[in-house]
Amino acid sequence: MICKFLSLLFFCGVCVSVFGQELQSPQINQNAIFANPGLAGSKGQTRVCLSAGAISNTIGNHTLESPQQTTTHSNFLISADGLILNKSIGIGGYISNTNYSKSNIGYVGPDIPQDIDTLLYKSEISLRYSNINAGIVVAPKFYLYSNTSTDKSRFISPALSFGIRESSYKTSSDSTFLYSNAPSASYGHSDQNSYFSLSHISAGVLYNTSKGYCGIKVSYLQSSINRFDISGAFVCAHSFYNKKISNPRFSFNPQLYLAFYLKTSEKNTNTIQAPYFVNQGATCNVNLDFRYGKFLFGTFLYAPKYIASSIGIMAGLQFASTRVVLNYMQSYVNTNNVGGFYLSVNILLKNKKTSSDPINEN
């Protein structure tokens, strides 16, 4: 069903109606307006972004000293942004669903030295977390051009974003004892809760040109009822190509996204309510993307705080109104892991092409 839905989106995008830089490599809950709210409306027309992805990591070998730990993170996001009031204000909105699970399984078996009366001891701890985010972005545009110029690609954009989040979580722990001369025994405990909180309250400023952009933002995140974090982020992207060619087929498009903590409060906090994808911590993503004609390809480094650092590859197709990108990421800490896949589809509506600058072909 999901495959058919994504195929339909791809088909509709090609039929509807050119892209600059997009921060679409594998920040699994990240797209352009999340990287910096000033990017709302930066295309000069309505942009729809859809993305879905999943990451899975497994470490350990099932012993109590080194339990097998498996983490899985999946995300679906849809956002839209554009310009209003004679292209003087960018606006955007988004809704996303994120699911996270973590399990630890360890045991002592008959082949491992143990208490003579115990044949097996098994311990299993699990966490399941889910949330739904929704929010809006407002980004005024202050264009930098002369009265005789028709180029409106250069502007400064201060911006604000505001979001809310409904979250739910469930934890459980189970222990099993199997004795050689006594009945087996099991012990378990579980806890679950749900709550509303503020999410992605951000203020940012962005400088945009026809060849790229650069910006900073400060974000307030209410990770739980009694916890908040204030973080900063820097984003930069630029396109390089042969300026002597009027319509070059090849371009190089490096991108950098860096997030870091400014302040955190953990007073009376249940840490279960603040897993890594809400609490980003220090996160770095470097994308080295290339375009040749309609083909996109590249590599990236993704180094977040709460999941294994990864390297990966990107491949995609670029049409007049649609960009389709697939990322595959593999942990270089544990190369036996499945890794993660991330698919994004970007669609531009009501295309009114006014420039042949190659940045619009990326």
Residue (of 43, 38, 15, 32) closest to 354 by Cα position: 43
Tell me what the mean pLDDT of segment 2-30 comes to.
44
Residue 256: partners with Cβ closer than 8 Å, 6 or more residues away = 234, 235, 236, 237, 285, 286, 287
Of 135 and 18, the one with more pLDDT: 135
Q: What is the pLDDT of residue 351?
A: 52
Segments in the chain forming alpha helices (H): 2-16, 32-35
Q: What is the pLDDT of residue 121?
A: 75
Question: Does residue 222 surpass a pLDDT of 50?
Answer: yes
Give how far Cα 5 sits from Cα of 2, 93, 109, Å: 5, 21, 46
Question: Does residue 7 surpass a pLDDT of 70?
Answer: no
Question: Does residue 32 surpass a pLDDT of 90?
Answer: no
- Residue 74: pLDDT band (50, 70, 90) is confident
Q: What is the pLDDT of residue 301?
A: 84
What span, in angstroms and rounded, lies between the C-alpha atoms of 151 and 145? 7
Q: Over the Cα atoms of the chain, what is R_g?
A: 24
Q: What is the pLDDT of residue 37?
A: 93
* Domains located in the chain, CATH noted: 2-361 (2.40.160)
SS3 content of the chain, % helix, strand, coil (to 5): 10, 60, 30
Question: Does residue 17 surpass a pLDDT of 90?
Answer: no
Question: Does residue 346 surpass a pLDDT of 60?
Answer: yes
Beta bridge partners of 291: 251, 296
Summarised one tens digit per residue, pLDDT across range 34-73 is 889 999 998 888 999 988 888 777 777 767 667 788 888 8
Helix (H, G, I), strand (E, B) or coil at 9: helix
What span, in angstroms and rounded, lies between the C-alpha atoms of 101 and 130? 9
Retrieve residue 119's tokens. 């044949």
Summarised one tens digit per residue, pLDDT across range 244-285 is 887 888 999 898 888 888 877 665 445 444 444 445 556 888
Tell me what the mean pLDDT of segment 316-339 comes to.
78
What span, in angstroms and rounded, lies between the C-alpha atoms of 65 and 74? 29
